[in-house]
Amino acid sequence: MKDTERILDSFTDRWGELEKKSWQIQAMLSELEEIIEQTEGDDDLMCSIQTSKIYLILETQLAQIKSEQFFIEDAGVICSRTRKEDLK
């Protein structure tokens, strides 16, 4: 039973770490959106392309974080059920 509680605690900790990263990435995405809007129409096409690439990379990272959070939540539900059954 203690193992299950320890696992649930580690899931909670990891989820929190991912949420923090998620907020950081969202802030960077907002900044990049502003940069992209400001550089639209500029002659510096390479800057615009590179900024767009970074934006896509950050969006991908955010999607991966959300996916991992989903699996952590799912695993937490399964472990919680197991723990409830162990208590019976």
* Residues 62, 72: Cα–Cα separation, whole Å: 15
Domain ranges across the chain: 2-87
Question: What was the pLDDT predicted at 42?
Answer: 63
Q: Report whether 11 contacts 75 (CB < 8 A).
A: yes
Question: What was the pLDDT predicted at 85?
Answer: 61
What is the CATH class of 2-87? mainly alpha
Question: What was the pLDDT predicted at 43?
Answer: 67
Residue spans of the chain under pLDDT 70: 1, 41-43, 82-88
**Torsion, CA 8, CA 9, CA 14, CA 17, rounded to 10:** 140
**In terms of pTM, does the model score above 0.75?**
no
Q: Report whether 81 contacts 3 (CB < 8 A).
A: no
